[in-house]
Protein backbone atom coordinates (compact mmCIF):
# COMPACT_ATOMS: atom_id res chain seq x y z
CA UNK A 1 0.00 0.00 0.00
CA UNK A 2 1.31 3.46 -0.86
CA UNK A 3 2.35 5.15 2.35
CA UNK A 4 1.99 1.96 4.41
CA UNK A 5 5.16 2.72 6.32
CA UNK A 6 4.15 6.27 7.08
CA UNK A 7 0.94 6.58 9.00
CA UNK A 8 -2.52 5.33 9.76
CA UNK A 9 -5.41 7.47 8.74
CA UNK A 10 -8.60 8.28 10.51
CA UNK A 11 -11.40 8.14 8.03
CA UNK A 12 -15.03 8.22 8.91
CA UNK A 13 -18.14 8.82 6.89
CA UNK A 14 -21.35 10.15 8.35
CA UNK A 15 -24.78 10.70 6.88
CA UNK A 16 -27.24 13.52 6.88
CA UNK A 17 -29.94 13.53 9.53
CA UNK A 18 -27.36 12.88 12.20
CA UNK A 19 -25.49 9.66 12.69
CA UNK A 20 -23.88 8.85 15.99
CA UNK A 21 -20.43 7.41 15.35
CA UNK A 22 -19.72 4.45 17.63
CA UNK A 23 -16.99 1.84 18.05
CA UNK A 24 -18.07 -0.63 15.42
CA UNK A 25 -16.99 -1.96 12.06
CA UNK A 26 -18.80 -0.45 9.09
CA UNK A 27 -18.27 -1.92 5.62
CA UNK A 28 -19.64 -0.18 2.55
CA UNK A 29 -21.20 -3.10 0.70
CA UNK A 30 -22.76 -0.95 -2.01
CA UNK A 31 -19.41 -0.56 -3.74
CA UNK A 32 -19.10 -4.30 -4.36
CA UNK A 33 -15.70 -4.51 -2.73
CA UNK A 34 -14.51 -7.51 -0.72
CA UNK A 35 -12.89 -6.54 2.58
CA UNK A 36 -10.43 -8.79 4.44
CA UNK A 37 -11.79 -11.72 6.38
CA UNK A 38 -14.26 -10.44 8.94
CA UNK A 39 -12.59 -12.22 11.84
CA UNK A 40 -9.29 -10.59 11.02
CA UNK A 41 -10.77 -7.14 10.55
CA UNK A 42 -12.58 -7.44 13.85
CA UNK A 43 -9.29 -7.95 15.62
CA UNK A 44 -8.08 -4.62 14.31
CA UNK A 45 -10.74 -2.80 16.29
CA UNK A 46 -8.64 -3.42 19.37
CA UNK A 47 -5.79 -1.22 18.18
CA UNK A 48 -4.49 0.96 20.96
CA UNK A 49 -3.43 4.57 20.84
CA UNK A 50 -0.05 5.51 22.22
CA UNK A 51 0.68 5.48 25.93
CA UNK A 52 -0.85 8.94 26.18
CA UNK A 53 -4.29 7.48 25.40
CA UNK A 54 -5.81 4.40 26.97
CA UNK A 55 -9.10 4.34 25.08
CA UNK A 56 -9.63 1.77 22.35
CA UNK A 57 -10.31 2.71 18.76
CA UNK A 58 -12.63 1.79 16.00
CA UNK A 59 -12.02 0.93 12.36
CA UNK A 60 -14.24 2.16 9.58
CA UNK A 61 -13.46 0.55 6.24
CA UNK A 62 -14.60 2.27 3.08
CA UNK A 63 -13.34 1.01 -0.26
CA UNK A 64 -13.36 3.79 -2.79
CA UNK A 65 -10.91 3.71 -5.68
CA UNK A 66 -8.29 2.31 -3.31
CA UNK A 67 -8.39 0.74 0.12
CA UNK A 68 -7.81 2.65 3.29
CA UNK A 69 -7.91 1.27 6.80
CA UNK A 70 -9.01 4.05 9.06
CA UNK A 71 -8.11 4.58 12.68
CA UNK A 72 -8.27 7.31 15.28
CA UNK A 73 -7.78 8.12 18.88
CA UNK A 74 -11.22 7.46 20.30
CA UNK A 75 -13.35 10.55 19.89
CA UNK A 76 -17.11 10.83 19.92
CA UNK A 77 -18.53 12.73 16.95
CA UNK A 78 -22.15 13.24 17.84
CA UNK A 79 -24.03 15.12 15.13
CA UNK A 80 -27.64 15.52 16.30
CA UNK A 81 -30.51 15.04 13.90
CA UNK A 82 -30.90 18.81 13.65
CA UNK A 83 -27.40 19.12 12.14
CA UNK A 84 -28.45 17.59 8.78
CA UNK A 85 -25.04 17.65 7.19
CA UNK A 86 -25.34 17.10 3.46
CA UNK A 87 -24.67 13.61 2.14
CA UNK A 88 -21.50 11.83 3.12
CA UNK A 89 -18.40 13.65 4.19
CA UNK A 90 -15.01 12.30 5.16
CA UNK A 91 -13.35 13.37 8.39
CA UNK A 92 -9.62 12.79 8.16
CA UNK A 93 -7.36 12.64 11.22
CA UNK A 94 -9.11 12.45 14.54
CA UNK A 95 -7.02 15.23 16.04
CA UNK A 96 -7.53 17.92 13.41
CA UNK A 97 -10.81 16.49 12.05
CA UNK A 98 -10.75 18.18 8.64
CA UNK A 99 -13.80 17.39 6.57
CA UNK A 100 -13.45 16.22 3.00
CA UNK A 101 -16.60 16.16 0.88
CA UNK A 102 -17.69 13.02 -0.86
CA UNK A 103 -18.51 14.91 -4.04
CA UNK A 104 -16.16 15.85 -6.84
CA UNK A 105 -14.31 19.17 -6.77
CA UNK A 106 -16.02 19.80 -10.09
CA UNK A 107 -19.42 19.94 -8.38
CA UNK A 108 -20.71 23.50 -8.74
CA UNK A 109 -18.14 24.55 -11.33
CA UNK A 110 -19.39 27.02 -13.92
CA UNK A 111 -18.40 26.40 -17.54
CA UNK A 112 -17.90 29.31 -19.93
CA UNK A 113 -21.05 31.38 -20.16
CA UNK A 114 -20.73 31.91 -23.89
CA UNK A 115 -18.85 30.33 -26.82
CA UNK A 116 -16.69 33.41 -27.50
CA UNK A 117 -15.76 36.65 -25.77
CA UNK A 118 -18.25 39.43 -26.34
CA UNK A 119 -17.48 43.14 -26.01
CA UNK A 120 -20.51 44.85 -27.55
CA UNK A 121 -22.80 47.39 -25.87
CA UNK A 122 -24.88 46.05 -23.00
CA UNK A 123 -27.76 47.72 -21.16
CA UNK A 124 -27.67 47.54 -17.36
CA UNK A 125 -31.17 46.05 -17.37
CA UNK A 126 -29.66 42.97 -19.02
CA UNK A 127 -27.15 42.26 -16.24
CA UNK A 128 -28.94 43.11 -13.01
CA UNK A 129 -30.79 39.83 -12.86
CA UNK A 130 -34.10 39.17 -11.14
CA UNK A 131 -32.94 39.38 -7.55
CA UNK A 132 -35.19 40.79 -4.88
CA UNK A 133 -33.78 43.57 -2.74
CA UNK A 134 -34.33 41.38 0.31
CA UNK A 135 -30.92 39.90 -0.56
CA UNK A 136 -29.01 43.13 -0.01
CA UNK A 137 -26.93 43.30 3.21
CA UNK A 138 -28.99 44.04 6.31
CA UNK A 139 -26.65 46.85 7.39
CA UNK A 140 -24.48 49.49 5.76
CA UNK A 141 -21.26 47.88 6.99
CA UNK A 142 -18.68 48.22 4.23
CA UNK A 143 -17.51 45.19 2.31
CA UNK A 144 -15.42 44.36 -0.72
CA UNK A 145 -15.35 41.42 -3.12
CA UNK A 146 -12.66 39.72 -5.19
CA UNK A 147 -13.90 37.43 -7.97
CA UNK A 148 -11.52 34.99 -9.66
CA UNK A 149 -12.52 33.85 -13.14
CA UNK A 150 -11.14 32.71 -16.47
CA UNK A 151 -12.30 34.72 -19.49
CA UNK A 152 -12.71 33.48 -23.03
CA UNK A 153 -9.57 34.16 -25.09
CA UNK A 154 -9.46 37.40 -27.07
CA UNK A 155 -9.22 37.61 -30.84
CA UNK A 156 -5.47 38.11 -30.77
CA UNK A 157 -2.70 36.51 -28.75
CA UNK A 158 -1.38 39.10 -26.24
CA UNK A 159 2.30 39.34 -25.29
CA UNK A 160 1.67 38.09 -21.76
CA UNK A 161 -0.87 37.72 -18.97
CA UNK A 162 -0.71 41.38 -17.97
CA UNK A 163 -1.52 42.48 -21.50
CA UNK A 164 -4.22 39.83 -21.75
CA UNK A 165 -5.96 41.16 -18.64
CA UNK A 166 -5.69 44.75 -19.90
CA UNK A 167 -7.31 43.64 -23.14
CA UNK A 168 -10.06 41.94 -21.15
CA UNK A 169 -10.75 45.09 -19.15
CA UNK A 170 -10.95 47.10 -22.38
CA UNK A 171 -13.46 44.55 -23.64
CA UNK A 172 -15.61 44.87 -20.50
CA UNK A 173 -15.53 48.66 -20.70
CA UNK A 174 -16.37 48.36 -24.39
CA UNK A 175 -19.87 47.32 -23.34
CA UNK A 176 -20.61 50.87 -22.22
CA UNK A 177 -23.00 53.15 -24.09
CA UNK A 178 -21.82 56.77 -23.78
CA UNK A 179 -23.96 59.44 -25.42
CA UNK A 180 -26.65 56.90 -26.30
CA UNK A 181 -30.16 58.44 -26.14
CA UNK A 182 -32.09 57.24 -23.06
CA UNK A 183 -35.18 57.82 -20.99
CA UNK A 184 -33.99 55.91 -17.87
CA UNK A 185 -30.72 54.58 -16.48
CA UNK A 186 -31.59 50.92 -17.11
CA UNK A 187 -31.28 51.65 -20.84
CA UNK A 188 -27.61 52.62 -20.37
CA UNK A 189 -24.71 50.28 -19.66
CA UNK A 190 -23.52 49.37 -16.17
CA UNK A 191 -20.82 52.04 -16.57
CA UNK A 192 -23.30 54.83 -17.37
CA UNK A 193 -26.46 56.55 -16.15
CA UNK A 194 -29.15 58.54 -17.88
CA UNK A 195 -28.72 62.31 -17.61
CA UNK A 196 -30.96 64.70 -19.54
CA UNK A 197 -31.78 62.11 -22.22
CA UNK A 198 -28.20 60.89 -22.79
CA UNK A 199 -26.14 58.07 -21.27
CA UNK A 200 -23.23 59.54 -19.26
CA UNK A 201 -20.41 58.12 -17.15
CA UNK A 202 -21.75 57.13 -13.71
CA UNK A 203 -18.82 58.89 -12.09
CA UNK A 204 -20.42 62.18 -13.11
CA UNK A 205 -23.54 61.53 -11.07
CA UNK A 206 -23.78 64.01 -8.17
CA UNK A 207 -27.36 63.62 -6.96
CA UNK A 208 -26.27 61.63 -3.91
CA UNK A 209 -25.81 57.97 -2.99
CA UNK A 210 -29.54 57.29 -2.70
CA UNK A 211 -30.26 58.25 -6.30
CA UNK A 212 -26.94 57.76 -8.10
CA UNK A 213 -26.23 54.24 -9.39
CA UNK A 214 -22.99 52.72 -8.04
CA UNK A 215 -19.87 53.46 -10.06
CA UNK A 216 -18.33 50.44 -11.74
CA UNK A 217 -14.75 51.19 -10.80
CA UNK A 218 -13.79 47.53 -10.35
CA UNK A 219 -10.15 46.73 -11.02
CA UNK A 220 -8.99 43.90 -13.30
CA UNK A 221 -5.70 42.27 -12.19
CA UNK A 222 -3.69 39.15 -12.92
CA UNK A 223 -3.83 36.10 -10.64
CA UNK A 224 -1.23 33.37 -10.96
CA UNK A 225 -3.21 30.86 -8.90
CA UNK A 226 -6.12 30.76 -11.35
CA UNK A 227 -6.16 28.52 -14.42
CA UNK A 228 -8.67 27.15 -16.94
CA UNK A 229 -9.95 23.59 -16.60
CA UNK A 230 -7.43 20.93 -17.48
CA UNK A 231 -8.36 18.13 -19.86
CA UNK A 232 -9.35 15.69 -17.13
CA UNK A 233 -11.66 18.26 -15.55
CA UNK A 234 -13.19 19.13 -18.90
CA UNK A 235 -13.80 15.44 -19.58
CA UNK A 236 -15.47 14.99 -16.19
CA UNK A 237 -17.72 17.95 -16.95
CA UNK A 238 -18.55 16.53 -20.36
CA UNK A 239 -17.20 19.74 -21.89
CA UNK A 240 -15.29 20.41 -25.07
CA UNK A 241 -11.56 21.05 -25.34
CA UNK A 242 -12.04 24.81 -25.62
CA UNK A 243 -12.83 24.89 -21.87
CA UNK A 244 -9.09 24.38 -21.29
CA UNK A 245 -7.99 27.75 -22.67
CA UNK A 246 -8.62 31.31 -21.50
CA UNK A 247 -7.36 34.36 -19.63
CA UNK A 248 -7.19 33.90 -15.83
CA UNK A 249 -7.89 37.10 -13.92
CA UNK A 250 -9.28 38.64 -10.77
CA UNK A 251 -11.72 41.50 -10.61
CA UNK A 252 -11.62 43.52 -7.39
CA UNK A 253 -14.35 45.82 -6.16
CA UNK A 254 -13.96 49.27 -4.63
CA UNK A 255 -15.32 49.61 -1.07
CA UNK A 256 -19.04 48.80 -1.19
CA UNK A 257 -21.93 48.94 1.24
CA UNK A 258 -25.67 48.52 1.48
CA UNK A 259 -27.98 48.61 -1.51
CA UNK A 260 -25.46 50.20 -3.86
CA UNK A 261 -22.89 47.55 -2.99
CA UNK A 262 -25.41 44.81 -3.62
CA UNK A 263 -26.38 46.35 -6.95
CA UNK A 264 -22.79 46.84 -8.07
CA UNK A 265 -21.89 43.23 -7.24
CA UNK A 266 -24.94 41.91 -9.04
CA UNK A 267 -24.24 44.03 -12.11
CA UNK A 268 -20.58 43.07 -12.39
CA UNK A 269 -21.49 39.38 -12.26
CA UNK A 270 -24.02 39.94 -15.01
CA UNK A 271 -21.37 41.79 -17.01
CA UNK A 272 -18.90 38.90 -16.58
CA UNK A 273 -21.51 36.41 -17.76
CA UNK A 274 -22.12 38.58 -20.81
CA UNK A 275 -18.41 38.89 -21.66
CA UNK A 276 -17.89 35.13 -21.20
CA UNK A 277 -16.21 33.63 -18.12
CA UNK A 278 -15.55 30.28 -16.52
CA UNK A 279 -15.71 29.64 -12.75
CA UNK A 280 -13.39 26.68 -12.29
CA UNK A 281 -12.12 24.73 -9.27
CA UNK A 282 -8.91 26.78 -9.03
CA UNK A 283 -10.90 29.99 -8.57
CA UNK A 284 -12.63 31.44 -5.53
CA UNK A 285 -14.48 34.41 -4.07
CA UNK A 286 -12.91 36.46 -1.29
CA UNK A 287 -15.18 38.78 0.67
CA UNK A 288 -13.73 41.52 2.89
CA UNK A 289 -15.97 42.76 5.71
CA UNK A 290 -14.93 46.03 7.29
CA UNK A 291 -14.41 45.82 11.05
CA UNK A 292 -12.06 48.66 11.95
CA UNK A 293 -11.18 50.57 8.77
CA UNK A 294 -12.32 53.86 7.26
CA UNK A 295 -13.07 53.02 3.61
CA UNK A 296 -13.56 56.05 1.38
CA UNK A 297 -16.92 56.92 -0.13
CA UNK A 298 -19.08 54.43 1.78
CA UNK A 299 -20.42 53.78 5.24
CA UNK A 300 -17.88 51.90 7.32
CA UNK A 301 -20.35 50.44 9.79
CA UNK A 302 -19.82 50.39 13.53
CA UNK A 303 -16.17 49.62 14.31
CA UNK A 304 -15.48 46.45 16.23
CA UNK A 305 -13.33 46.18 19.32
CA UNK A 306 -10.50 43.67 19.67
CA UNK A 307 -12.91 41.49 21.60
CA UNK A 308 -15.45 41.75 18.81
CA UNK A 309 -12.92 40.75 16.14
CA UNK A 310 -11.76 37.71 18.10
CA UNK A 311 -15.38 36.77 18.78
CA UNK A 312 -16.09 36.68 15.03
CA UNK A 313 -13.11 34.35 14.50
CA UNK A 314 -14.19 32.04 17.33
CA UNK A 315 -17.79 31.98 16.09
CA UNK A 316 -16.67 31.01 12.59
CA UNK A 317 -14.58 28.21 14.11
CA UNK A 318 -17.54 27.01 16.15
CA UNK A 319 -19.78 26.82 13.09
CA UNK A 320 -17.10 25.63 10.65
CA UNK A 321 -18.86 22.33 9.85
CA UNK A 322 -22.17 24.13 9.39
CA UNK A 323 -20.59 26.76 7.14
CA UNK A 324 -18.77 24.11 5.10
CA UNK A 325 -22.16 22.65 4.28
CA UNK A 326 -22.91 25.98 2.57
CA UNK A 327 -19.82 25.72 0.34
CA UNK A 328 -18.82 23.74 -2.73
CA UNK A 329 -16.64 20.64 -2.22
CA UNK A 330 -13.54 22.14 -3.80
CA UNK A 331 -13.10 24.81 -1.12
CA UNK A 332 -13.38 22.69 2.02
CA UNK A 333 -9.88 21.24 1.76
CA UNK A 334 -8.37 23.96 -0.42
CA UNK A 335 -4.79 25.02 0.31
CA UNK A 336 -5.75 28.68 -0.08
CA UNK A 337 -8.75 28.54 2.26
CA UNK A 338 -8.10 26.07 5.06
CA UNK A 339 -10.92 25.46 7.49
CA UNK A 340 -10.66 26.41 11.15
CA UNK A 341 -10.78 22.80 12.34
CA UNK A 342 -10.36 22.24 16.05
CA UNK A 343 -9.09 19.01 17.59
CA UNK A 344 -9.34 17.91 21.19
CA UNK A 345 -6.09 15.95 21.32
CA UNK A 346 -3.61 17.52 23.71
CA UNK A 347 -0.83 18.08 21.21
CA UNK A 348 1.71 20.84 20.94
CA UNK A 349 1.00 23.82 18.72
CA UNK A 350 4.71 24.71 18.58
CA UNK A 351 6.92 23.48 15.72
CA UNK A 352 9.72 21.16 16.88
CA UNK A 353 13.21 22.71 17.20
CA UNK A 354 14.80 23.19 13.80
CA UNK A 355 11.52 22.81 11.91
CA UNK A 356 10.47 25.60 9.55
CA UNK A 357 7.18 27.03 10.86
CA UNK A 358 5.65 27.56 7.43
CA UNK A 359 6.35 23.99 6.36
CA UNK A 360 5.33 22.42 9.65
CA UNK A 361 2.06 24.34 10.00
CA UNK A 362 1.38 23.72 6.33
CA UNK A 363 1.48 20.02 7.11
CA UNK A 364 -0.50 20.42 10.35
CA UNK A 365 -2.87 23.37 9.75
CA UNK A 366 -5.06 22.41 12.72
CA UNK A 367 -2.10 23.06 15.02
CA UNK A 368 -1.84 26.59 13.71
CA UNK A 369 -5.56 27.08 14.40
CA UNK A 370 -4.86 25.87 17.93
CA UNK A 371 -1.97 28.35 18.18
CA UNK A 372 -4.21 31.20 16.95
CA UNK A 373 -6.75 30.49 19.68
CA UNK A 374 -4.06 30.31 22.35
CA UNK A 375 -2.60 33.65 21.27
CA UNK A 376 -6.05 35.24 21.10
CA UNK A 377 -6.86 34.01 24.59
CA UNK A 378 -3.61 35.38 26.01
CA UNK A 379 -3.91 38.69 24.13
CA UNK A 380 -7.42 39.26 25.48
CA UNK A 381 -6.25 38.37 28.98
CA UNK A 382 -3.52 41.02 28.77
CA UNK A 383 -5.99 43.64 27.56
CA UNK A 384 -8.38 42.95 30.42
CA UNK A 385 -11.40 45.23 30.21
CA UNK A 386 -9.58 47.53 27.80
CA UNK A 387 -11.10 46.90 24.37
CA UNK A 388 -9.54 49.32 21.87
CA UNK A 389 -11.05 49.93 18.44
CA UNK A 390 -8.08 51.59 16.73
CA UNK A 391 -6.33 50.49 13.58
CA UNK A 392 -2.99 50.34 15.41
CA UNK A 393 -4.47 48.11 18.08
CA UNK A 394 -5.82 45.75 15.42
CA UNK A 395 -2.43 45.58 13.70
CA UNK A 396 -0.70 44.85 17.01
CA UNK A 397 -3.23 42.13 17.77
CA UNK A 398 -2.87 40.62 14.29
CA UNK A 399 0.93 40.39 14.59
CA UNK A 400 0.74 38.97 18.10
CA UNK A 401 -1.78 36.31 17.15
CA UNK A 402 -0.16 35.16 13.89
CA UNK A 403 3.55 35.47 14.67
CA UNK A 404 5.67 32.35 14.60
CA UNK A 405 9.39 31.72 15.19
CA UNK A 406 11.31 33.66 12.57
CA UNK A 407 8.30 35.75 11.53
CA UNK A 408 7.40 38.23 14.29
CA UNK A 409 5.28 40.68 12.25
CA UNK A 410 3.41 38.78 9.53
CA UNK A 411 0.61 41.36 9.35
CA UNK A 412 2.86 44.31 8.53
CA UNK A 413 6.05 42.96 6.98
CA UNK A 414 5.01 40.75 4.07
CA UNK A 415 2.69 41.12 1.12
CA UNK A 416 1.52 37.50 0.97
CA UNK A 417 2.26 35.77 4.30
CA UNK A 418 1.27 32.10 4.44
CA UNK A 419 -0.86 32.78 7.52
CA UNK A 420 -3.52 34.28 5.24
CA UNK A 421 -4.61 30.98 3.70
CA UNK A 422 -7.47 30.18 6.08
CA UNK A 423 -11.18 30.69 5.59
CA UNK A 424 -10.98 33.63 7.99
CA UNK A 425 -7.91 35.70 7.14
CA UNK A 426 -6.77 38.21 9.78
CA UNK A 427 -3.90 39.68 7.73
CA UNK A 428 -5.98 42.49 6.07
CA UNK A 429 -6.66 44.00 9.50
CA UNK A 430 -3.35 45.81 9.19
CA UNK A 431 -3.77 47.23 5.69
CA UNK A 432 -7.52 47.60 5.19
CA UNK A 433 -9.12 47.13 8.60
CA UNK A 434 -11.10 44.17 7.26
CA UNK A 435 -11.57 40.47 7.88
CA UNK A 436 -11.30 38.44 4.70
CA UNK A 437 -13.53 35.38 4.21
CA UNK A 438 -11.93 33.09 1.63
CA UNK A 439 -14.11 29.98 1.81
CA UNK A 440 -16.45 30.40 -1.15
CA UNK A 441 -15.81 28.84 -4.54
CA UNK A 442 -15.92 30.88 -7.73
CA UNK A 443 -19.37 31.35 -9.18
CA UNK A 444 -21.20 33.78 -11.42
CA UNK A 445 -24.52 32.82 -9.81
CA UNK A 446 -25.87 36.21 -8.70
CA UNK A 447 -28.29 34.84 -6.14
CA UNK A 448 -25.73 32.59 -4.49
CA UNK A 449 -23.22 35.42 -4.19
CA UNK A 450 -25.81 37.84 -2.82
CA UNK A 451 -26.93 35.36 -0.17
CA UNK A 452 -23.33 34.60 0.84
CA UNK A 453 -22.40 38.28 1.25
CA UNK A 454 -25.60 38.96 3.17
CA UNK A 455 -24.79 36.02 5.46
CA UNK A 456 -21.24 37.24 6.14
CA UNK A 457 -22.32 40.81 6.92
CA UNK A 458 -25.01 39.48 9.26
CA UNK A 459 -22.54 37.08 10.88
CA UNK A 460 -20.06 39.90 11.62
CA UNK A 461 -22.84 42.16 12.89
CA UNK A 462 -24.15 39.51 15.27
CA UNK A 463 -20.88 38.15 16.64
CA UNK A 464 -18.79 41.32 16.35
CA UNK A 465 -21.03 43.46 18.55
CA UNK A 466 -19.99 43.56 22.19
CA UNK A 467 -22.56 46.08 23.41
CA UNK A 468 -25.88 47.32 22.10
CA UNK A 469 -25.53 50.66 20.25
CA UNK A 470 -25.85 53.57 22.65
CA UNK A 471 -25.95 51.40 25.77
CA UNK A 472 -23.87 49.17 27.98
CA UNK A 473 -26.24 46.23 27.65
CA UNK A 474 -24.58 42.98 26.71
CA UNK A 475 -25.50 41.15 23.54
CA UNK A 476 -26.04 37.38 23.15
CA UNK A 477 -23.43 36.87 20.42
CA UNK A 478 -20.70 38.30 22.63
CA UNK A 479 -21.84 36.29 25.65
CA UNK A 480 -21.77 33.12 23.55
CA UNK A 481 -18.15 33.67 22.51
CA UNK A 482 -16.79 35.34 25.64
CA UNK A 483 -17.17 32.15 27.64
CA UNK A 484 -14.43 30.48 25.59
CA UNK A 485 -12.06 33.31 26.45
CA UNK A 486 -13.02 33.54 30.12
CA UNK A 487 -11.98 30.06 31.23
CA UNK A 488 -9.16 29.53 33.70
CA UNK A 489 -6.78 28.48 30.91
CA UNK A 490 -6.68 28.65 27.14
CA UNK A 491 -6.60 24.84 27.01
CA UNK A 492 -9.94 24.68 28.80
CA UNK A 493 -11.47 27.28 26.50
CA UNK A 494 -10.10 25.52 23.43
CA UNK A 495 -11.47 22.12 24.45
CA UNK A 496 -14.90 23.65 25.02
CA UNK A 497 -14.86 25.37 21.63
CA UNK A 498 -13.65 22.15 19.94
CA UNK A 499 -16.50 20.23 21.54
CA UNK A 500 -19.04 22.83 20.47
CA UNK A 501 -17.71 22.72 16.90
CA UNK A 502 -18.76 19.08 16.73
CA UNK A 503 -22.33 19.65 17.92
CA UNK A 504 -23.13 23.06 16.40
CA UNK A 505 -26.17 23.00 14.14
CA UNK A 506 -27.40 24.95 11.17
CA UNK A 507 -30.75 25.60 12.83
CA UNK A 508 -29.25 27.33 15.85
CA UNK A 509 -27.01 29.54 13.69
CA UNK A 510 -29.79 30.75 11.41
CA UNK A 511 -32.09 31.29 14.36
CA UNK A 512 -29.50 33.59 15.93
CA UNK A 513 -29.00 35.61 12.74
CA UNK A 514 -32.76 36.08 12.56
CA UNK A 515 -33.99 38.93 10.37
CA UNK A 516 -30.42 39.95 9.48
CA UNK A 517 -30.68 37.43 6.62
CA UNK A 518 -33.39 36.70 4.07
CA UNK A 519 -35.88 34.13 5.36
CA UNK A 520 -35.28 31.82 2.40
CA UNK A 521 -31.49 31.65 2.76
CA UNK A 522 -31.42 28.79 5.25
CA UNK A 523 -33.39 26.54 2.89
CA UNK A 524 -31.29 27.74 -0.07
CA UNK A 525 -28.08 26.58 1.57
CA UNK A 526 -29.57 23.51 3.25
CA UNK A 527 -30.93 22.19 -0.06
CA UNK A 528 -27.79 23.29 -1.94
CA UNK A 529 -30.01 24.63 -4.68
CA UNK A 530 -27.13 25.69 -6.89
CA UNK A 531 -26.41 21.98 -7.40
CA UNK A 532 -29.83 21.20 -8.86
CA UNK A 533 -29.43 19.89 -12.37
CA UNK A 534 -25.65 19.61 -12.08
CA UNK A 535 -24.97 16.00 -12.99
CA UNK A 536 -21.45 16.14 -11.51
CA UNK A 537 -22.94 16.89 -8.10
CA UNK A 538 -25.09 13.79 -8.34
CA UNK A 539 -22.21 11.29 -8.27
CA UNK A 540 -19.58 10.43 -5.72
CA UNK A 541 -16.03 11.56 -6.36
CA UNK A 542 -13.42 8.95 -7.14
CA UNK A 543 -10.79 11.31 -5.77
CA UNK A 544 -11.93 11.47 -2.16
CA UNK A 545 -9.74 8.86 -0.54
CA UNK A 546 -6.50 9.58 -2.43
CA UNK A 547 -6.68 13.10 -0.97
CA UNK A 548 -6.51 12.05 2.68
CA UNK A 549 -3.61 13.47 4.64
CA UNK A 550 -1.02 11.70 6.76
CA UNK A 551 -2.10 10.82 10.23
CA UNK A 552 -0.70 12.94 13.03
CA UNK A 553 1.71 10.63 14.84
CA UNK A 554 2.03 13.11 17.70
CA UNK A 555 -1.59 12.53 18.62
CA UNK A 556 -2.20 8.85 18.45
CA UNK A 557 -0.47 5.78 17.13
CA UNK A 558 3.31 5.77 17.07
CA UNK A 559 5.44 3.54 14.87
CA UNK A 560 5.13 2.32 11.31
CA UNK A 561 2.11 0.71 9.73
CA UNK A 562 3.29 -2.92 9.80
CA UNK A 563 4.14 -2.71 13.50
CA UNK A 564 0.74 -1.15 14.18
CA UNK A 565 -1.07 -3.93 12.33
CA UNK A 566 0.82 -6.58 14.29
CA UNK A 567 0.20 -4.87 17.63
CA UNK A 568 -3.50 -4.64 16.81
CA UNK A 569 -3.95 -8.40 17.11
CA UNK A 570 -5.30 -9.37 20.57
CA UNK A 571 -2.98 -11.08 23.00
CA UNK A 572 -4.77 -14.44 22.86
CA UNK A 573 -3.28 -14.94 19.40
CA UNK A 574 0.22 -16.37 19.46
CA UNK A 575 3.17 -14.38 18.17
CA UNK A 576 3.31 -16.44 14.95
CA UNK A 577 -0.39 -15.94 14.36
CA UNK A 578 -0.08 -12.23 15.06
CA UNK A 579 2.67 -11.85 12.49
CA UNK A 580 0.79 -13.92 9.92
CA UNK A 581 -2.43 -11.97 10.35
CA UNK A 582 -0.57 -8.68 10.05
CA UNK A 583 1.14 -9.92 6.89
CA UNK A 584 -2.21 -10.99 5.44
CA UNK A 585 -3.59 -7.58 6.19
CA UNK A 586 -0.72 -5.75 4.49
CA UNK A 587 -0.90 -8.10 1.51
CA UNK A 588 -4.59 -7.34 1.12
CA UNK A 589 -3.82 -3.63 1.19
CA UNK A 590 -1.12 -4.07 -1.45
CA UNK A 591 -3.60 -5.85 -3.71
CA UNK A 592 -5.95 -2.85 -3.52
CA UNK A 593 -3.70 0.17 -4.27
pLDDT of 329-344, one tens digit each? 878 768 899 989 886 5
414-419's contacts with Cβ under 8 Å and 24+ in sequence apart are: 418/358, 418/361, 418/362, 419/368
Name the packing angle between helices 365-383 and 306-318 (round to 10°). Answer: 150
- What pLDDT was estimated at residue 129? 63
Residues 6 or more apart in contact with residue 426 via CB below 8 angstroms: 309, 313, 398, 401, 402, 411, 419, 435
CA distance 28 to 16: 16
- What pLDDT was estimated at residue 59? 29
End-to-end distance of the chain based on CA atoms, in angstroms?
Answer: 6
Domain spans of the chain, in order of start: 11-102+542-590, 124-538
- What pLDDT was estimated at residue 325? 84
Range in 28-32, 137-141, 340-344, 482-486 with the lowest mean pLDDT: 28-32
- Conformational region of residue 451, where left means phi above 0, alpha means psi within -120 to 50, and beta covers everything else: alpha
Ranges of beta strands (E only) in 45-127 are 60-61, 89-92, 99-101
Percent of the chain with pLDDT over 90: 50
Q: 452-480: per-residue pLDDT in tens?
A: 999 999 999 999 998 877 666 779 999 99
Within 405-550, residue ranges assigned H as helices are: 410-413, 428-431, 446-464, 476-485, 490-503, 506-513, 521-526
DSSP-assigned beta bridge partners for residue 364: none
Mean per-residue pLDDT over the chain, rounded: 76
C-alpha of 282 from chain center? 13
CA distance 126 to 120: 13
C-alpha distances (whole Å) from 321 to each of 289, 326, 457, 492 are 21, 9, 19, 21
CB atoms within 10 A of CB 11: 25
CA distance 426 to 420: 7
Q: 252-291: per-residue pLDDT in tens?
A: 999 999 999 999 999 999 999 999 999 999 999 999 999 9
In this structure, the chain runs to a length of 593
**pLDDT tops 60 at residue 352:** yes
- Highest average pLDDT, of 68-77, 372-381, 385-394, 532-541, comes from 372-381
* Structure confidence at residue 544 as a pLDDT band (50, 70, 90): very low
- Highest average pLDDT, of 7-11, 72-76, 94-98, 401-405, comes from 401-405
Return the higher-pLDDT residue of 544 and 354: 354
CB atoms within 10 A of CB 557: 25
**pLDDT tops 60 at residue 60:** no
Range in 250-254, 481-485, 500-504 with the lowest mean pLDDT: 500-504
DSSP letter at 542 equals T
- The structure's pTM equals 0.79
Amino acid sequence: MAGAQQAIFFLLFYRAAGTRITDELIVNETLNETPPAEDFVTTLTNMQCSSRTSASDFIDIKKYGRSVIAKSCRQQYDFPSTATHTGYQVIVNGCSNPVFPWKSNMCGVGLFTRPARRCSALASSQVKGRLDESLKPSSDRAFGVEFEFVARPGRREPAGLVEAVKELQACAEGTRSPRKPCTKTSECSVYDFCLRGTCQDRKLCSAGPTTCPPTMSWNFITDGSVRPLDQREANEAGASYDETAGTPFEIVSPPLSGRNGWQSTTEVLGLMRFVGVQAGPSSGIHVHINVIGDPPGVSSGRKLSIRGITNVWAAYAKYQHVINDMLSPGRQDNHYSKSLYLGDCDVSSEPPPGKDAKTWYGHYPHKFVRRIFRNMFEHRARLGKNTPTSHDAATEMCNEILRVPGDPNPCSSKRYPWQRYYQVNLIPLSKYGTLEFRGHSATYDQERVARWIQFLVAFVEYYGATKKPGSQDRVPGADEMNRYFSRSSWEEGFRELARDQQIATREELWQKLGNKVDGASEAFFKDRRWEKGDRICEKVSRDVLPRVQEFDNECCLEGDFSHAAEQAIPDHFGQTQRGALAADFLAWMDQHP
